[in-house]
Amino acid sequence: MNKTRCIYCGKIFDKTQGNICPSCHKDNTITNLPEADIHVLHQSCHNQIRKYTDMKNNALTFLVIGTMLLIVGVIFLFLSFRYDVTKVRVFTPGSTEFVVSVICLSISIFSLIFGCVRLIYSQSRIKGNQKVILATELKK
């Protein structure tokens, strides 16, 4: 399995069948490109960097929301411990505070995991596009 990612459209294709992407039909060799093709390649890379920067910002939003919900969930979990008639703290799993705590903590876990995955993916794609730009930089 010799899979690679197209430097123009970002789709994955099998490199053993050639360097031409089946989706956008462009050649993925970055050596000996004419100046016009380098310009088109740089435009494509910058557009993808912008797209993945937006994805990174979205992931950071999920991380912040997940962190806030984690704090709210922990507070409500603490509030689900109530005093009984003998002034002893007792855990009450049937209380509204516990239900809110479980909901907040589950949404928080989802948001944190989803945000981390999107952040790692977008960072790797941004770095990949920056490497392509540096590899094809015009010498003046």
> 3-state class of 50 per DSSP?
helix
Q: Tell me, what's the pLDDT at 10?
A: 80
Domain boundaries, the chain: 1-30, 32-135
Read off the pLDDT band of 11 (50, 70, 90): confident
Percentage of residues in the chain with pLDDT exceeding 90?
52
Mean pLDDT of 26-35: 81
Lowest average pLDDT, out of 3-17, 44-58, 61-75, goes to 3-17
Q: What's the whole-number mean pLDDT along residues 26-45?
A: 84
pLDDT at 140: 58
Query: What mean pLDDT, rounded, does the chain reach?
Result: 90
Instruction: Note the pLDDT of residue 99.
Output: 95
Tell me what the mean pLDDT of segment 39-55 comes to.
93
Cα–Cα distance, 6 to 17 (Å, whole number) = 13
The residue that leads in pLDDT, 70 or 92, is: 70
CA separation for the pair 51, 54 (Å, rounded): 5
Neighbours of 35 (CB within 10 A): 7
Element housing 90 (H / E): strand 89-91
- What pLDDT score does 1 carry? 63
pLDDT in tens, 97-118: 999 999 999 999 999 999 999 9
Residue 37: pLDDT above 90?
no
